A and B are shown apart, each in its own frame.
Chain A
C-alpha cells in the first residue's frame, strides 16, 4: 500500500478485524431474525424455506421479501466495499469510492435519462445503462486528472466536479418530469425493499466474478499501489491492469445502482474500517472490506426496518447509511493517514496590475446587468426588450437578478475565505458541506415553526452552515487541515445533512414542498423584499472582509509560517469561520446548496491572474455575481416556458467550466 494510505500507529489500538466484524454482524443478525420472527413464527421457517406454496402470505413475505432483502443488503454492501477497495488501491487514494468519484451519480443520471428518453434501453438492460453512465463518469474523472498524474487530490476534485454536475443534471431531469419525481427520489435514496430473488440472484454471480477477477488482480494491484516507476520496473503493463481493475470496480458499483439505487458511504467506509483494524495485504484488504461492507449495510438496513416499523412510511436505506455512516467516517478521518501534501496550487500567471482587471470587471458589470434584464424568451424565441418594454419587465426580472447576483457574490467570498483559510483549492461552501448544513437548518425550522419569516430563515441557514463548518474544523484540526482529509470530512458532512433533508422529503410531508424549490436554487419566487435583503446582506458582510488581507495572505502558508510572522492561526481562523459561514448561509438561503459558484469563482479569479488575496477576493466577488446572474437569465429562457432554477443552471455552467479548467496542464489542484 502506498504512503497515501499509510496508517497512524494510534489506530492500531483498536480491535482486530474479526472482532469488529462480529460486533457488526451480531446485532445485524439479531435485528434480521426478530423481523423475520415478527412475520412468521420460528417453527414455520423451515417449512417456508422448503415448500414452494407453503404457509400462505406470511410465508411468501418471508421467502420473497424479507430473505431476499437481507441477501441484497449483504451483496450490495460487499459489492460496494470491494469496488471502493479496488478504487482506493488503483488510485492510491484513501478517499476514492464509487460515490466520491462520480460513478454512482453518473450511473444514476444515465438511468434517469434513459428512463425518460429511451425506455427501451432500460427494458433491455438497466445494468448496461448504469455501467455506461458510471464508466463515462470515471473516464471523465481520469481524463480531468490525467495530466496531474492521477494524484489523489486531483482525482477527488475531478470526482467531486463530475459527481456534482451529474447530480445537477439528474435534478433538472427530475424537475422537468414532476410525476416521475417519487420514483427518482426513492431510487436516489436507495430502497432495499425486495419482491423476489431476481435482483439478488443477478447480483450474486456478478459479485463472485468480480471477486475472482480481484483475486487474480491481486499482484498487479499491489504493484499499482507503488509508484509508476517501480511498478514498470517490475514488468507490469500498467495501463492494462489499471483499466481492468477500474472496469471491475465500476461494474460492481453500476450493478448495485441498477438494482437498488444509490447507497452512499459503504464503498468509502468499509475499506477505511478494514484499514483501521490493521488489515494488511491486498488480498486480505479486499476480502475484509467486502465483509465489513456486507455487515455494515445489513446492520444499517436492520435499523431502517426497525425504525420503519410494520405500519410506518417508507424509509430509504441509502439515505440511512449516510446518516449512520457519516459520523463514523468523521470519527475515522483524523485516524487515517494524512495523505500526500497537495502541491501548492499554481494556476495562471500573476498580473502585474491586478486591480486594473478588477476595475475593468466592475466597469463592464452595469452593461452586463442591463443586457441581463433585457434578454428574455417568449413564444417566438429570444429577444431583447428595450424602452417601455424593458421598464415593464423590470419588476419581473430585476428582483430575482439582483438577489441571484448578491448570492453569487456572497458565495464567491465565502469560497475565497475557505480556500485561503484552509490552503485548500478544493474548498468551497458546497464541497465542505456548508450548503447542506444550511439546508438542514432550514429543514429543522420548517418542521418546528409553522410559517417562518425571512429573518428566522436566515438565522437557520446561517446557523446550519456555521454548525457544519465548526464540525468540519474540529474533525480536521488534528491533521493541520490536510486537503484530502478536509474534503473527505466535508463530503461526509454534506452527505449526512443531505440524507436528513432527503429523508424528510421522502415522507411526502407538505412542509417539505418549499424545500424542493430551494434545493434546486429557484429564484423566480424572489420579490423586491428578498432582493433588498440579499443586497443588504452583501453590502454589510462583504466590505469588512477587505480588512482581513493579512490573514488571507498568511494562512495559506501554513500554521508554522503564520505564527512565525506573529499571527495566532487558531484565533485568525475563527475570525474567518464566522463570516464564511454567514455568507454561505445567507447565499444558500437565496440560491440553494447546489451551485458551484463558491468553489468556482475563486478559481476563476486566480486563473485570470488575480493572485494577491484582496485582488482575488474582489475579482471572485464580481465574477461570482456575474456567473450567478447569467445563470438566472439563462434559467428564465433555456427551457421556455419551463423555468430552470438559477442554482441548477449555475452548477451546469460551473461544472463543465471547472472540468475544462482541470483538464488544462497548469490547472487543477
Chain B
C-alpha cells in the first residue's frame, strides 16, 4: 500500500522532513553509520536521514551536518518506521547491520560497505568506498576531486610532519582514568600514519577494529614514542592524569611529548583520515 509523499509528510507531521527535494540526479539517501555519513556529506550530498545526529556533531565533527536531516536514533538500532517514512531511494549500511538487512531492504535498496575487513587496510578501503558511493549517488566528479585533494594533502602533510623524524607516534584515546585504546597499524589512524610516512609506535596485537584496550602501564613498552591523545577525555581521566604517578613517569610525559588532539572519528572514512592528518600536522 503506497502513499504519496504529501500524505506521508502529513503522517509525519512535518513537511520539512519527508519532502525535501533531492538534487538533480542524486537519489534520496539514508545512512546508518557515521563513517558512511561523513563520506556522503564530503561528496556534497545531504542525506535525508542519518543516525545519532547529536553524537555525530560531538565525535565526528566534520563535515558538518546541515539542518533538516531526520535523526534515525541509535546507530545500533535505527528507527525503521521513521526511516521508511523519510522514503529514501537508497540506504547505505555496514556489515554490522546484517541482522537488520532484510528489514532495511524493505525500505529501499541497501548498499553495504565494509571499511574494516579481516586483513584489509581501512584507508585503502575508504578510497574504494568513496568511488563506489560517488557512483551510486551520481557524484563521480566530486569523488574524483576528493581523492585528488586527499592525494595532495598526504604529500603536503607528510612534508609538514617530516620534522617528527624517526620518533614513532602513539595514537590513543582514553576510555576511563586507567585504560586507553591504542590504535595499531590496521586502524584508520594507523593506516593514515603509514600513508604519511610516520612510524606507528603501537605494534602489539590489536582487535578487528585495529585497536587494543590497555591499562596505562602497557605504555611503558613504547619509551621512544610521542603521544597523540584523541579527545574528548572522559571526565575521570581529565581530573586524575596530573596526579597519576604512573602516567607522570612515562618518558613521553616527562619529556613533554604528549599532545591532546581535538576529537576525530576513529571508525570513519577518508574525511576522518584527512581530518586526522590535518590535526596531526597542526600539533
Contact = CB atoms under 8 A, between A and B. Distances in A.
Is A bound to B? yes
B215 A314 contact: yes
A45 B73 CA distance: 54
B84 A508 contact: no
Given A388-B1, A508-B207, A527-B102, A641 B79 contact: yes
A183 B216 contact: no
A554 interface: no
Interface string B158-193: 000000000000000001111101000000000000
A178 B205 contact: no
B76 A516 contact: yes
B82 A641 contact: yes
Interface string A59-77: 0110111100000000000
Given A314-B214, A522-B77, A195 B246 contact: yes
B234 A180 contact: yes
B212 interface: yes
A57 B81 contact: no
Nearest to A315: B213
Nearest to A177: B55
Contacts of B76: 175, 178, 516-517, 522
A95 B270 CA distance: 55
Contacts of B78: 524
A235 interface: no
B235 A314 contact: no
Given A122-B235, A378-B11, A525-B99, A179 B178 contact: no
A115 B213 CA distance: 21
Contact of A525 (B82, B100, B220, B251): B100
Contact of A517 (B52, B73, B95, B99): B99
Nearest to B223: A57
Q: Which of B73, B77, B204 has the most CB of A within 10 A?
A: B77
B208 A510 contact: yes
A228 interface: no
Contacts of B73: 639-643
Contacts of B212: 313-314
A380 interface: yes
Contact of A198 (B72, B74, B95, B243): B243
Interface size class on chain B is: 35 or more
Contact of A636 (B71, B81, B177, B244): B81
A203 interface: no
B236 interface: yes
Nearest to A58: B220
A175 B55 CA distance: 13
B195 interface: no
A313 B207 contact: yes
Q: Which of A60, A376, A389 has the most CB of B within 10 A?
A: A60
Nearest to A119: B235
Contacts of A389: 3, 11
A160 B175 CA distance: 30
B154 interface: no
A424 interface: no
Given A57-B223, A313-B205, A641-B73, A64 B1 contact: no
A355 interface: no
A601 to B, nearest CB: 25
B103 A193 contact: no
Contacts of B177: 195
A389 B12 CA distance: 11
B239 to A, nearest CB: 6
B96 A513 contact: yes
A239 to B, nearest CB: 38
B227 interface: no
A183 B235 contact: no
Contacts of B106: 395, 527
A311 B70 CA distance: 44
B249 interface: yes
A8 to B, nearest CB: 43
A508 B239 contact: no
A393 B99 CA distance: 20
A388 B70 CA distance: 23
Interface string B201-245: 000110111011111110010010000000000111001100111
A178 B55 contact: yes
B207 A396 contact: no
A269 interface: no
A392 interface: yes
A313 B77 CA distance: 28
A645 B77 CA distance: 9
A182 B102 CA distance: 29
Contact of A392 (B1, B59, B239): B1
A64 B249 contact: yes
A517 B76 CA distance: 7
Interface in B18-71: 52, 55, 58-59, 70-71
- Tell me the interface secondary structure of chain A in the complex: helix
Contacts of B1: 388, 391-392
Given A178-B75, A191-B179, A524-B80, A379 B215 contact: no
A510 B116 contact: yes
Contacts of A642: 73-74, 77, 79
Contact of B72 (A194, A311, A507, A641): A641
Given A182-B181, A191-B179, A195-B177, A175 B74 contact: yes
A187 B204 CA distance: 24
A522 B250 CA distance: 44
B79 A195 contact: no
A193 B215 contact: yes
B74 A379 contact: no
B15 to A, nearest CB: 11
A146 interface: no
A63 B96 CA distance: 42
Contacts of A396: 80-81, 84
B17 interface: yes
B249 A311 contact: no
A379 B13 contact: yes
A629 B175 CA distance: 37
30 contacts: A60-B220, A60-B249, A60-B250, A61-B217, A61-B220, A64-B246, A65-B217, A119-B235, A122-B236, A175-B76, A182-B181, A182-B213, A183-B179, A186-B179, A191-B179, A195-B215, A197-B245, A389-B3, A396-B80, A396-B81, A507-B207, A509-B207, A510-B116, A514-B98, A524-B78, A524-B103, A525-B99, A641-B70, A641-B79, A643-B73
Interface of A: 57-58, 60-61, 63-66, 115, 119, 122-123, 126, 175-176, 178-180, 182-183, 186-187, 191, 193-198, 311-314, 376, 378-380, 385, 388-389, 391-393, 395-397, 451, 506-510, 513-514, 516-517, 522, 524-525, 527, 529, 636, 639-643, 645
Interface of B: 1, 3, 11-14, 17, 52, 55, 58-59, 70-82, 84-85, 95-96, 98-100, 102-103, 106, 116, 175-179, 181, 204-205, 207-209, 211-217, 220, 223, 234-236, 239-240, 243-247, 249-251
Q: 5 shortest A-B CB distances, which residue pairs?
A: A193-B215, A60-B249, A380-B13, A65-B217, A64-B246
Given A178-B55, A193-B216, A195-B215, 18 more contacts: A60-B245, A64-B246, A65-B215, A65-B246, A178-B74, A186-B175, A191-B179, A193-B217, A313-B205, A314-B179, A379-B12, A392-B3, A396-B84, A514-B99, A517-B77, A524-B77, A527-B103, A529-B102
